[in-house]
Amino acid sequence: MGLDNTQFFRRPEKEPENQVTKTMKIVYESLEEKGYNSIYQIVGYILSGDPTYITNHNNARTLMSQLERDELLEELVKNYIKQNIQNKD
């Protein structure tokens, strides 16, 4: 293959659940179990980077801090578009 050709990378049809999804499930459920508004708490964390927005319950704070906030935001936007824009055509 020459340098003039573009290669395509194709993902498998069904992606395994990624780390962001697994972490978000645990964080969401942990915040709900403790009685917090999970959306407000997660948004607060994303905007500020302050880990105290996330509960320690179920090790959620540690798990969340292992993700890069830009990676988290990218995954959230990607899923929002997939659910609310691409599927509306």
Per-residue pLDDT tens, the chain, 89 aa: give them.
567 777 766 655 555 568 899 999 999 999 999 999 999 999 999 999 999 999 999 999 999 999 999 989 999 999 999 999 987 65
| Amino acid letter, 30 | S
Residue at 63 is within a domain: yes
How many structural domains is the chain composed of? 1
d(CA 13, CA 5) in angstroms, rounded, equals 24
d(CA 75, CA 67) in angstroms, rounded, equals 11
Domain boundaries, position 26: 19-88
Q: How far apart are the first and last CA of the chain?
A: 37
Give residues with Cβ within 8 angstroms of 26, minimum separation 6: 58, 59, 60, 63
Give residues with Cβ within 8 angstroms of 56, minimum separation 6: 62
Residue at 2 is within a domain: no
Residue at 4 is within a domain: no
Whether the model clears a pTM of 0.85, i.e. scores above it, the answer is no
